[in-house]
Structures are given as structure tokens and as C-alpha cells.
């Protein structure tokens, strides 16, 4: 014997299915609309990325002079500008996925890529030898560090040029803080570091009555920094042109030096809270 649902139950079941189908269609339509809105927003936003570097590229309202410089140079860009500070891994994945259309920290120590358009260098990073020993002042070539163990940040050591360097033994560290810590703990006698960064460190040392570290009088390595935009982006050349024009204007009106905070008669840009213990033991 076959059981059959009453007619009213069948009608309710059919009505429920129709309502469910309508809900599914509505949800799909909402997702489609959201996706369109996101695509429009992305199309109207220039999203650029850079690796975190203290005082240059940072977040949480910490000093970020390189980001400030890039933002000022692109102030006349019609699109909205979004600058992100992140790690090397997230930077790479974000560029591959299309989350970012370019990066604002290309070092001349790395090879250029065919799928990117590069700006003229807008910033120079001079790497100097640093030590507690005065002889550091007379170092003029990396070859003078032959077989020495030299502290260096990964952002420089992992580049195409310095990765192949065989005259010295690199003591790699993930950040400037970790490089300075090597010197503070006497794990190395010499560092190859960014001159602007070691100037900030010497300001910190002076603030607690310590002698400044010695710095080579001559830059050992000079690094040009450029903006890189993916060629696949239709606005790549326009963005680069706007950026270069902006940098030129900032240099001519004196704003460039203000943004880079070249006047050292001030407090250090380094976050002294994380250096407190190191300075106490210095």
C-alpha cells in the first residue's frame, strides 16, 4: 500500500521549495553585487606594498618616513592610494594574487623583473661599516672585512648582489634591532648597516650618556630605491610618471628632507621602548 501526503501538505512542501529557491537566488545576487562593488573599489584604488623596516615602512602610528614620502609623491593621483607594510612572505603572495599592483621598496641590489615597470630611484640607502672600534672609520672597501663576521639585515643580505658576496661572513638578522643586538652582545665586531638607521641609534646612545659607535667615513655599498608597478596594470606608466613628478616637486620645495627627517637635532625615530634593556646593558 502506497502512502500519499494530503494535498495541503504537498502544497506546503512545494511552497517551501519555492521560498528556498528564491532565498538562494537572492543570496547569489547579493554575493554578485558585493563582488562587483569590490572590483569597482579595487579598480579605483592603487594598492602598494613594502616590507616592514623600522622608521621607514611601519604601522601602528610608528614613524614611517618612506611611506610618508611615497604618499606625498602620489598625492595628485586620481585614484585612492593604499600603502601596506608587511613581511616579505605576505608581500610576495599579495603581489602574486593581485591584492597589490606594485611595491615601493625595490632595491638596486636586486635584479629587475620583465613584468614590472620601475621608477627612477627616489631614495638612496648608504650602507656603512659600524663598530665599537675606531678603525671602522677607515674602512673604504668590503674586501677589508675579509673573513670577518659582519652583522647585516636580511633586507640587504638576501639581495641578488650581496648574497653572492664571498669576502665576508654575513651574520644575518631579520631587523635592525637584531643586528644592533649582535654588536651589543659582542657576537660581532662589525656591522654593515643603513647610515640613517645608525644615526638614529647614536641619538639613542647619546640620550643615555653612551658614546656613539664608529661609522666608516665612506659608504661601502650604495642602494637605490625605486617604485615598481606590474606591467599588466593599464595605469602602470601613468602611476610611475605621477610618482616621479611628485618626487621632483618634493625635492625642489624642500619637503623631501622634511619628510625624511634629515635634521638630527631631535629625538630618535627608533622606538626606544624596545631598546631600553639593550641600552641599560650597553
In a domain, 64, yes or no: yes
Residues 209-227: pLDDT tens digits?
999 999 999 999 999 999 9
pLDDT attached to residue 38:
38
Q: Which residue has the cell 625595490?
A: 106
Whole-prediction pTM value? Answer: 0.84
In a domain, 277, yes or no: no
In a domain, 268, yes or no: no
User: Cα–chain-centroid distance for residue 205?
Assistant: 26
38 and 56 share one domain: no
8 and 85 share one domain: no
* Cβ-proximal residues to 2 (8 Å cutoff; 6+ apart), any chain: none
Q: Predicted confidence band at 278 (pLDDT cuts at 50, 70, 90)?
A: very high
164 and 186 share one domain: yes
pLDDT attached to residue 264:
97
Mean pLDDT of 241-267: 98
pLDDT attached to residue 231:
98
138 and 154 share one domain: yes
Decide if pLDDT at 41 tops 60: no
* Average pLDDT value over all residues in the chain: 91
15 and 53 share one domain: no
57 and 101 share one domain: yes
Q: Predicted confidence band at 258 (pLDDT cuts at 50, 70, 90)?
A: very high
Residue 30, domain extent:
1-43
Are 227 and 243 contacting, i.e. CB atoms less than 8 angstroms apart?
Answer: yes
pLDDT attached to residue 81:
98
Which of 22-36, 73-87, 143-157 has the least mean pLDDT?
22-36
* Cβ-proximal residues to 83 (8 Å cutoff; 6+ apart), any chain: 48, 49, 50, 67, 70, 71, 104
Mean pLDDT of 251-276: 97
% pLDDT > 70, the chain: 85
In a domain, 273, yes or no: no
Q: Retrieve residue 207's grid coordinates.
A: 640620550
96 and 183 share one domain: no
Decide if pLDDT at 2 tops 60: no
pLDDT attached to residue 168:
94
The DSSP bridge pattern shows strands 221-230 and 123-131 to be antiparallel
Closest C-alpha to 55, from 76, 37, 69: 69
130 and 212 share one domain: yes
Domain harbouring 152, CATH code: 3.40.190.10
Number of domains in the chain: 3
Decide if pLDDT at 42 tops 90: no
Residues 135-194: pLDDT tens digits?
999 999 999 999 999 999 999 999 999 999 988 999 999 999 999 999 999 999 999 999
Alpha helices of the chain — where are they, by DSSP H? 7-43, 65-73, 88-97, 154-157, 160-163, 176-184, 195-207, 236-252, 255-260, 272-281
Decide if pLDDT at 118 tops 50: yes
pLDDT attached to residue 100:
99
Decide if pLDDT at 11 tops 90: no
pLDDT attached to residue 27:
60
Amino acid at each position: 500500500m502506497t502512502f500519499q501526503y494530503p494535498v495541503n501538505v504537498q502544497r506546503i512542501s512545494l511552497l517551501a521549495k519555492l521560498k528556498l529557491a528564491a532565498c538562494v537566488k537572492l543570496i547569489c545576487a547579493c554575493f554578485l553585487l558585493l563582488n562587483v562593488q569590490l572590483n569597482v573599489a579595487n579598480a579605483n584604488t592603487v594598492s602598494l606594498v613594502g616590507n616592514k623596516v623600522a622608521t621607514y615602512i611601519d604601522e601602528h602610528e610608528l614613524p614611517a618616513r618612506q611611506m610618508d614620502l611615497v604618499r606625498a609623491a602620489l598625492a595628485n593621483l586620481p585614484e585612492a592610494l593604499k600603502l601596506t607594510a608587511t613581511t616579505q612572505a605576505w608581500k610576495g603572495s599579495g603581489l602574486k594574487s593581485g591584492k597589490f599592483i606594485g611595491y615601493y621598496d625595490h632595491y638596486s641590489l636586486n635584479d629587475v623583473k620583465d613584468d614590472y615597470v620601475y621608477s627612477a630611484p627616489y631614495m638612496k640607502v648608504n650602507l656603512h661599516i659600524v663598530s665599537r672600534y675606531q678603525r671602522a672609520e677607515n674602512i673604504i672597501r668590503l674586501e677589508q672585512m675579509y673573513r670577518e663576521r659582519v652583522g647585516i639585515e636580511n633586507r640587504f643580505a638576501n639581495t641578488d648582489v650581496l648574497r653572492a658576496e664571498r669576502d665576508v661572513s654575513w651574520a644575518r638578522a631579520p631587523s635592525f634591532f637584531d643586528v644592533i643586538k649582535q654588536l651589543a652582545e659582542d657576537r660581532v665586531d662589525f656591522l654593515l648597516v643603513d647610515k640613517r638607521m645608525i644615526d638614529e641609534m647614536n641619538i639613542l646612545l647619546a640620550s643615555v650618556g653612551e658614546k656613539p659607535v664608529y661609522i666608516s667615513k665612506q659608504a661601502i655599498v650604495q642602494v637605490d630605491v625605486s617604485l615598481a608597478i606590474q606591467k599588466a596594470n593599464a595605469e602602470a606608466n601613468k602611476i610611475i610618471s605621477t610618482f616621479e613628478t611628485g618626487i621632483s616637486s618634493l625635492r625642489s620645495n624642500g619637503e623631501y628632507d622634511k619628510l625624511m627627517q634629515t635634521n638630527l637635532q631631535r629625538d630618535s625615530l627608533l622606538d626606544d621602548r624596545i631598546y631600553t634593556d639593550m641600552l641599560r646593558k650597553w
